[in-house]
Structure 1
Amino acid sequence: MVDKSEKFNWLVRVGYFSRAILYSVLGMIALTSAGKISEGTNGIFMAVEDFPAGQYILWLMVLGLAAYAMFRFASPIFDIENEGSDKTGWAKRIGHAGSGIGHIALAYSAYQFASTGSASGGGAQAAASGVLSFDFGGIVLGILGGAFIATAFFQFKKGLSGSFMNRISAQAPSATRWLGGAGYAARGVVYAVIGWSLINAGLLSGGSESVKTLGDAVASLAGEGAVFTVTAAGLLVFGLFSFVLARYRIIPELDADAGIPKFRS
């Protein structure tokens, strides 16, 4: 049995707070700074670095994004969200694992900026090339891409249904429902772009196409007019929604014997 401690609870909330900073900054620079959004994910951390106390914020994001990734990895391993073991449940749990991988990569980028003031370019593509060098590496990337596509579908579904409210305290602000709905829809667009880039690189182009990270996915939409603007605004809203989650999200027990969490019963 794995017990959830208060430290775990605190770390998850720091993770949501870090995610809030990440998406808020991403949305803001997408709407206001074409130069920085063209830098992709690195542009996010460049913007944070320019903030007052930017170095301290970056180190907080390193901790928080890594903690959030661990929380996402706990879903496929322990099923702490009680998604179940049917096809739908496993699709959600694998999607959570994909989210965990993505946030570990973001935590590493934040670490590079916090410790050296810059990040090496092409990290995602180098990792993808490393996977492709193994037998069946293309299939692995394709499966990961499929996980992101599945996650995108569930992001849209959550945004439309409002099911995410079952995991949020009743004390949350009344605007939480529409903040989450708009934010999840925008996130679904970005996850779909990332997923397609993985499938394209792994199965369709033989590795000649690049793999997109969070910021790269948004930057790739820059020529899409209203789609880009609405998505960027939605990501900013998702950042605000994540600030609400940092305070009001119900953190389930890390305990296989704890039964179904109250918000799922």
Structure 2
Amino acid sequence: MVDKSEKFSWLVRVGFAARGLTYILLGYIALGTRGDAKGGGSAVYDYIQDVPFGTPILWAMTFGLLAYVAFRLMCAISDLQHRGSDTSGVLKRVGDAASAVAHLFLAYACYQFATGEKQSSAGDGGGEEMAGSILQMELGWIVIAAVGLGFLVGAFMQAKTAWSAHFMHRISARAPQVTKAIGRAGHAARAVVFLLIGWSMLDGAWAERGDRIQGLGEAILSLRDMGTIYTLVAIGLIMFGIFSLFTAKYRIIPDFGPEGLKPHFRS
């Protein structure tokens, strides 16, 4: 019988795998047909919908992304990974929360395609719709502004991680040597995207206009006139996707017990 720790470990690995596939296809679409990348996650799931067994794959990815969202929320709320209560630890947990929100948007878009509610990648998918709905609520702009600040903090933490490669502390020594370089490139690209999303959310909250808020795809496309930078970010997202697949297999996930996930660092 599979115990609680094994189930938790399996869910986390499925979540990283779903994240990886999403980013690989997003970067691929952005490189191949720049206009279609506007759909962000929706463009990815629209693409998957047309492949053999597309609907079962979409359901599996929805489940995986929700598992990843749950993992990040647990890290942010209960400090599951023992980030600590100092400034660095708090910032990391805020980044965890921003990551949870970003992937919740992706999970919602994936769910729409899995159920047939959405048939094309027009627009930027569930994220923009959800943000627009929140803005219609009383004081909704405060919620959007808070999430935007979370993305800016997340961007800072992604950039810091790209520089320090701290992520390797939780990767098994059995992982390919290229994991570190790929991870650095991927986190750097993700920092750029999080920065653009966060800034757009603050702008949208200030003006109380949902059309100013950028989702994942629109954030990428906002760089399309910058030539080399756009290409590097798109390639970086593919690298982040590959890194996520490596993480799904090689991440060290300690037993899940009353004290949460005890830190485990490579020697």
Give the structure-2-normalised TM-score. 0.90
Distance (whole Å) between structure 2 residues aligned to residue 222 and residue 176 of structure 1: 28
Residue of structure 2 equivalent to 1:247: 249
Matches within 5 A, 1:102-251: 102-116=102-116, 118=119, 121=123, 123-203=126-206, 205-207=207-209, 209-251=211-253
Q: Residue type matched to 2:80 in 1?
A: I
Matches within 5 A, 1:9-20: 9-20=9-20
Distance (whole Å) between structure 1 residues aligned to residue 7 and residue 261 of structure 2: 21
Query: RMSD between aligned alpha carbons?
Result: 2.2
Residue of structure 2 equivalent to 1:49: 49
Residue 257 (structure 1) aligned with residue 252 (structure 2):
no
Distance (whole Å) between structure 2 residues aligned to residue 47 and residue 208 of structure 1: 26
Distance (whole Å) between structure 2 residues aligned to residue 16 and residue 244 of structure 1: 9
Q: Residue type matched to 1:243 in 2?
A: L
Residue 95 (structure 1) aligned with residue 95 (structure 2):
yes
- 3-state SS in 1 of match to 2:112: helix
Q: 1:67 to 1:227 in 2, by over 3 A?
A: same
Off by >4 Å, runs of 4+ in structure 1: 119-122
Q: 1:126 to 1:112 in 2, by over 3 A?
A: closer
- 3-state SS in 1 of match to 2:224: coil
Q: 1:4 to 1:154 in 2, by over 3 A?
A: farther
Instruction: Check the 8 A contact 1:25/1:48 in 2, yes or no.
Output: no
Give how far 1:254 is off: 3.7
Q: 1:264 to 1:209 in 2, by over 3 A?
A: farther
Q: 1:113 to 1:258 in 2, by over 3 A?
A: closer
Instruction: Check the 8 A contact 1:158/1:164 in 2, yes or no.
Output: yes
Give how far 1:7 is off: 1.3
Residue 66 (structure 1) aligned with residue 66 (structure 2):
yes
Size of the aligned set, in residue pairs, is: 262
Q: Residue type matched to 1:118 in 2?
A: Q
Distance (whole Å) between structure 2 residues aligned to residue 184 and residue 138 of structure 1: 28
Q: Residue type matched to 1:79 in 2?
A: D
Give the structure-1-normalised TM-score. 0.91
Render the CA deviation track for 1:161-183: whole Å, top value 9, x for unaligned: 11110010111011001010100
Residue 34 (structure 1) aligned with residue 37 (structure 2):
no
Instruction: Check the 8 A contact 1:149/1:192 in 2, yes or no.
Output: yes
Q: Residue type matched to 2:231 in 1?
A: T
Give how far 1:75 is off: 0.7
Give how far 1:108 is off: 1.4
Distance (whole Å) between structure 1 residues aligned to residue 95 and residue 86 of structure 2: 14
Q: Which runs of 5+ in 1 are unaligned?
A: none
Q: Which runs of 5+ in 2 are unaligned?
A: none
Q: 1:252 to 1:215 in 2, by over 3 A?
A: farther
Select between 183-192 and 112-121 the one with higher mean Cα deviation.
112-121
Instruction: Check the 8 A contact 1:75/1:81 in 2, yes or no.
Output: yes
Instruction: Check the 8 A contact 1:41/1:216 in 2, yes or no.
Output: no
Instruction: Check the 8 A contact 1:81/1:252 in 2, yes or no.
Output: no
Q: Residue type matched to 1:73 in 2?
A: L
Instruction: Check the 8 A contact 2:83/2:89 in 1, yes or no.
Output: yes
Give aligned-pair identity as a percent: 43
- 3-state SS in 2 of match to 1:5: helix
Q: Residue type matched to 1:110 in 2?
A: C
Residue of structure 2 equivalent to 1:78: 78
Give how far 1:207 is off: 1.9
Q: 1:259 to 1:220 in 2, by over 3 A?
A: closer
Distance (whole Å) between structure 2 residues aligned to residue 213 and residue 252 of structure 1: 34
Instruction: Check the 8 A contact 1:169/1:249 in 2, yes or no.
Output: yes
Render the CA deviation track for 1:93-132: whole Å, top value 9, x for unaligned: 1221121122122111111111105268564344333333
Give how far 1:45 is off: 1.1
Give how far 1:138 is off: 2.0
